Chains A and B, each alone.
Chain A
Amino acid sequence: MDAHLSAVAPTAALDHLDWLEAEAIHILREVAGQCANPVLLFSGGKDSICLLRLAEKAFRPGRFPFPLLHVDTGHNYPEVTAFRDKRAAELGERLIVRSVEDSMRRGTVVLKSPGESRNKHQTVTLLEAIAEFGFDACIGGARRDEEKARAKERVFSFRDDFGQWDPKNQRPELWSLYNARIHPGENIRAFPISNWTELDVWQYIAREGLDLPSIYFAHTRPVVRRNGALVPVTPLTPPRSGERIEEVSVRFRTVGDITCTAPVDSVAATVEQIIFETAETTITERGATRLDDQTSEASMEQRKKEGYF
């Protein structure tokens, strides 16, 4: 019995974060090994901050075998873009920024109204960046627990030459044998933290002592309450008539486009306090904070089919 136990000990000793980390490193190295010209999508958000840490564990003391790319909607919180630039500089890795506003100037993105969310328009700019640099794979920080269409997406997700995802015709993915073979013009989206939940991400940030943009932590901010969500009051998102502006202690759970990212009530000033709140919370991450995903039950699936991350 003792011999039997010691035989399984090495595997049993991996705690859940060790296991998730090892899987993510394996995926990153497969991208590097199989793809000629990959890129890592880095937004300054917590999921992509984890990706950078995992990339350090996968490739140091070497340089990353890919540059970093941010598709900037022009509607980002300044704390987040400043953090993005600082983190890329600290790592000494190349950061490429491509902007939705450039796509608007080129006429490839046309807004229906000036203040609308530019979240879905990132797709156009991303596909333009992929074509400009000839990227054959984009590494992203999406997780399967975020949304139900994502629950069925592969770790190596194939996109055709229009960037489209076909959920009914995905490549089978068995064991950890990933197939990144593509024809020119096609693209692989690789998701190393597919199997992580929001709580795993926070636990990993705590364990690794990772820095985050300040708006992830509780701060006082003017907001209005709209349809059960808190809407930050900014030049892009002014209050509507009749709405009362309140100063509330909030934090952001995701840091996307200002027009569609809402904060939550919180007094959590440290990662440990955020973990406590996350473990206790009763609202899913996208439900609470992504105003655009509520539109229809299938809205994420629709955007992904069109080439979204």
Chain B
Amino acid sequence: MSAREPLPGLRTEDHGLLRFLTCGSVDDGKSSLIGRLLYDSKSILADALATIERTSRKRGLEAVDLSLLTDGLQAEREQGITIDVAYRYFSTGARKYIIADAPGHEQYTRNMVTAASTADLAIILVDARKGVLTQTRRHSYIAHLVGIPHLVVAINKMDLVGYSREVFEQIRRSYLEFAASLDIRDVRFIPLSAINGDMVVERGENLAWYEGQTLLELLETAPAAHSEAVEKFRFPVQYVCRPRTAEHHDFRGYMGRVESGEIAVGDAVQILPSGRTTRVRDIRLLDQSLPQAGSERSVTLLLEDEVDISRGDMIVKADEPPRSAKQIEAMVCWLAEGPLEAGRKLVVRHTTRETRALVAAIEYRQDINELKRVSGGRLAMNDIGSVTFKLAQPLFVDPYRENRATGAFILIDEATNDTIGAGMIV
């Protein structure tokens, strides 16, 4: 017992939670890599393993195919492909991980954008035999566009290139060359073999020349915060609590999540859109009163003055308001079957606010394979482009680069209610 690692869940230190994205196709060994992470971190349980052993045998495979662990839907199993984003979980005891597993094919750009939208780190898989491909550039562009601060280029299948340091260095150089053009800053490179387990969780014995961290070591130490900059306080109001009971007769609580920044009791705040100012009297979480609340905390704010506030309003610090916009320019990823064209009316959902919007212009479409701009026209499904919207009601926005929560929005079709687009405000 004493020689064993402490059990997950029993350790006292807690380094929180890291959400990361894996991008690549089945051919890059992505499913094997995830399978290996889960397997070597002892996150695969006996019956799940028995199921994939059965399936491996049924398919006539000699070894257990760890990639089967990430098979999800019936249609995917039948076709041997990944259709949709799947979420996986594992914990090392020190940290909990949420993996968003996005399919790699070009036509699934929308899935990658979806998976990237909540990730703090992206693992981009490169096949050591093939080097930096169009797909690698596409994945890197999207990860960067969606604002993932940390990229890890996992150069996989090192076993098939004789664990060659030269191959690794060459891929590294050519990646850095193109990354410079995208202004990607934090990028790390790891040579590995997911099949053999080298440099995933264990170091293995085949890559002695590599002195950097294993993939898991890197994940364990990567900053979990989405942004390392000091962000402005943004608190979109989700719900107003007015119990009107004898005990809480005058209670007015403004409920929401601190989307960014920090708020403390006594801080001067401004309410948008009214522009009224007051101060924070208390910050509640059930029966606790908190002196302050930081990013990603869901709390209830009590204010010093009686102000008329409802869902969709935003509470910000009095001296750092966001921009009030009736027209926005954004990079849009189009998610729907039919194309997006200028003149279309739709609904924009931004923070807890919704407004109708008109597509005023589509300036250009980004060719995500060649990383070129193609001017004008329309956006087809999976296209990404620059779009200008006119809004029926003002929104309170920050540039997406500065603030993911107040820079992002989704587009909704008024007739079908489907989510048809994702936007990032420029």
Q: Mark A50-71, 1 if CB is under 8 A from B, else 0.
A: 0000001111111101000000
Query: Out of A19, A145, A171, A281, which one reaches B418, CB within 8 Å?
Result: A171
Query: Out of A183, A197, A288, A301, which one reaches B417, CB within 8 Å?
Result: A183
Residues of B within 8 A of A174 (CB): 113-114, 117-118, 408, 410, 419, 422
The reply on B191 being an interface residue by CB < 8 A is no
User: Which has the most chain B C-beta neighbours within 10 Å: A173, A175, A176, A195?
Assistant: A175
**Pairwise interchain contact A284-B45, C-beta atoms closer than 8 A:** yes
Residues of B within 8 A of A60 (CB): 286-287
Assuming the contacts A29-B255, A279-B10, A282-B46, asked whether A177 and B298 have C-beta atoms less than 8 A apart, the reply is no
Residues of A within 8 A of B410 (CB): 172, 174-175, 177, 179
The reply on A144 being an interface residue by CB < 8 A is yes
- B interface bracket (residues with beta carbon within 8 Å of A): 35 or more
Query: Out of A13, A22, A276, which one reaches B298, CB within 8 Å?
Result: A22
**Pairwise interchain contact A63-B243, C-beta atoms closer than 8 A:** yes
The reply on B296 being an interface residue by CB < 8 A is yes
**Pairwise interchain contact B229-A7, C-beta atoms closer than 8 A:** yes
CB distance from A209 to the nearest CB of B (A): 13
Q: For the complex, give the distance between the alpha carbons of A59 and B251 in Å.
A: 12
The reply on A149 being an interface residue by CB < 8 A is yes
Q: For the complex, give the distance between the alpha carbons of A29 and B285 in Å.
A: 14
Q: In chain B, what residue has the closest Cβ to A156?
A: B419
The reply on A203 being an interface residue by CB < 8 A is yes
CB distance from A92 to the nearest CB of B (A): 11
CB distance from A10 to the nearest CB of B (A): 2
**Pairwise interchain contact A172-B422, C-beta atoms closer than 8 A:** yes
User: Which has the most chain B C-beta neighbours within 10 Å: A12, A22, A62?
Assistant: A62
Interface-side segment among B81-89, B133-141, B158-166, B198-206: B81-89
Residues of A within 8 A of B98 (CB): 195
Q: Mark B316-339, 1 if CB is under 8 A from A, else 0.
A: 000000000000000000010000
The reply on A134 being an interface residue by CB < 8 A is no
Query: Out of B74, B89, B311, B422, which one reaches A144, CB within 8 Å?
Result: B89
**Pairwise interchain contact A173-B74, C-beta atoms closer than 8 A:** no
**Pairwise interchain contact A22-B247, C-beta atoms closer than 8 A:** no
The reply on B150 being an interface residue by CB < 8 A is no
Query: Out of B86, B294, B298, which one reaches A25, CB within 8 Å?
Result: B298
Residues of B within 8 A of A281 (CB): 45
Assuming the contacts A177-B409, A282-B45, asked whether A15 and B16 have C-beta atoms less than 8 A apart, the reply is yes
Q: For the complex, give the distance between the alpha carbons of A23 and B98 in Å.
A: 13
CB distance from B335 to the nearest CB of A (A): 5
**Pairwise interchain contact B229-A177, C-beta atoms closer than 8 A:** no
CB distance from A15 to the nearest CB of B (A): 4
CB distance from B379 to the nearest CB of A (A): 15
Assuming the contacts A29-B256, A60-B286, asked whether A181 and B241 have C-beta atoms less than 8 A apart, the reply is no
The reply on B180 being an interface residue by CB < 8 A is no
The reply on A75 being an interface residue by CB < 8 A is no
Query: Out of B47, B285, B287, B294, which one reaches A13, CB within 8 Å?
Result: B294
**Pairwise interchain contact B89-A181, C-beta atoms closer than 8 A:** no
Q: Mark B401-413, 1 if CB is under 8 A from A, else 0.
A: 0001100111010
The reply on B77 being an interface residue by CB < 8 A is yes
The reply on A280 being an interface residue by CB < 8 A is yes
Q: In chain A, what residue has the closest Cβ to B8?
A: A279
Query: Out of B9, B46, B239, which one reaches A283, CB within 8 Å?
Result: B46
The reply on B183 being an interface residue by CB < 8 A is no
Residues of A within 8 A of B89 (CB): 144-145, 195, 197
Query: Out of B83, B114, B228, which one reaches A173, CB within 8 Å?
Result: B114
CB distance from B42 to the nearest CB of A (A): 9
**Pairwise interchain contact A148-B113, C-beta atoms closer than 8 A:** no
Q: For the complex, give the distance between the alpha carbons of A154 and B52 in Å.
A: 25
27 pairs of residues in contact across A and B, judged by CB atoms under 8 Å: A7-B228, A8-B223, A14-B17, A16-B16, A19-B296, A26-B256, A29-B255, A29-B298, A33-B239, A33-B311, A57-B298, A59-B239, A151-B72, A152-B85, A152-B86, A168-B73, A174-B410, A177-B350, A177-B408, A177-B410, A181-B417, A183-B417, A275-B9, A287-B46, A287-B47, A297-B51, A298-B74
Contacts A63-B243, A167-B73, A195-B89 aside, 14 further interface pairs with beta carbons under 8 A come to A11-B295, A12-B224, A14-B297, A19-B17, A29-B238, A149-B72, A152-B85, A179-B418, A197-B91, A197-B96, A284-B48, A287-B48, A297-B51, A301-B73
Q: Chain A residues in contact with chain B, CB under 8 A?
A: 4, 7-23, 25-26, 29-30, 32-33, 56-63, 65, 144-145, 148-149, 151-152, 167-168, 170-177, 179, 181-183, 194-195, 197, 199-200, 202-203, 275-276, 278-284, 287-288, 297-298, 301
**Shortest Cβ-Cβ A-B pairs, 9 listed:** A10-B294, A287-B47, A25-B298, A15-B14, A279-B7, A181-B417, A29-B238, A282-B46, A16-B96
Q: Chain B residues in contact with chain A, CB under 8 A?
A: 7-10, 14, 16-17, 45-48, 51, 55, 71-75, 77, 83-89, 91, 95-96, 98, 110-111, 113-114, 117-118, 223-226, 228-230, 238-239, 241-243, 245, 247-248, 251, 253, 255-257, 262, 285-287, 292, 294-298, 311, 335, 349-350, 352, 404-405, 408-410, 412, 417-419, 422
